Amino acid sequence: MLENKRGIIYVISDSLGETGELVAKAGKIQFNTSISDIKRFPFVLEKEQIDEILYEAKEDNSIVVYTLVVPEMKEYMRNKCDEYGIPAIDVIGPVIDALRLMTKKEPLYEAGLNRRLDADYFKKVEAIEFAVKYDDGKDSRGIKKADVILLGISRTSKTPLSMYLAHKNVKVANIPLVPEVDPPKELFEPIKGKIIGLTNDPDKLNHIRIERLKALGLDYTANYANMERILNELDYAEKLFHKLRCPVINVSTKAIEETASIVLSIIREGEQL
């Protein structure tokens, strides 16, 4: 008998169906094991798809939770559920109706608007992937492709700044500066991007590096945190910045957002030249 079968919730959506599934889960949790499953059917845009799903649902002890916005599809869903005797819940319809009364405007009735991806989204994703690929000097070829090339010794906020700028759709490559390692030759060749140096105060670098070593369980008296070593690295970086004639930002008293704002200003100034 159907009444002895554990129930199944069918979630049907013209988008991903996440909203309907969350509502179904919120209801299901109140009934312990009485409901066996939630089946989600995303991107249901044709009546034939509704037919196929409900043909299966009518054989189960089921209810339908749906998030459809196109009126014709909603009506078809209601009629079919009535025909098969399947209880159906329109999750988003009452919200749209209430908003229509409040705004005195007609909704767009377009499926999947909350998931529509615009060009800006793809630019952001591309910039984030770029920042990851060309982080910490992994591949110097990124210098030729980047909008901004950040140079600095260890613990000058190169990586967090790169990721923050990536979320502003800026492609960033960052290069660590080490006195014993020659800088990439691409820095001295014609490039489209803007080279920017990052520096920090010696005392702050000393403190940050000691804490970093402690966090890694390493000897905090190692050469990495030695003040003489830090001063040597800063001197090396300063000479390279001078050679490249690039702007330099001291990050010692600046939040990432503030440093990023300065970088964006430098980019805009360069575009106006």
Q: Which two tokens stand for residue 119?
A: 């060009």
Task: Name the nearest CA neighbour of 246 among 150, 164, 159.
Answer: 150
133 annotated as belonging to a binding site for a ligand: no
Residues 51 and 12: beta-carbon distance below 8 Å: no
- 265 annotated binding-site participant: no
Burial class (CB in 10 A: 0-12, 13-18, 19+), 59: exposed
Is 209 labelled a binding residue? Answer: no
Question: Is 168 labelled as part of a ligand binding site?
Answer: no
155 is in an annotated binding site: yes
How many residues does the structure list for the chain?
273
Give CA–CA dist 255/273, Å, rounded.
28
Q: Where are the alpha helices (DSSP H) in 139-226?
A: 142-145, 158-166, 202-215
Other CB atoms within 10 A of residue 100 CB: 12
- Residue 154, marked binder: yes
Q: Is 5 annotated among the ligand-binding residues? A: no
CA-based Rg of the chain, rounded to a whole angstrom? 29
CA-to-CA distance for 151 and 158, rounded, in angstroms? 7
Answer yes or no: is 67 a known binding residue.
no
SS3 state of residue 73: helix
Neighbours of 98 (CB within 10 A): 10
| Close Cβ partners of 223 (under 8 Å, ≥ 6 residues apart) | 229
**Binding residue positions:** 152-159
Annotated binding site for ADP: 152-159
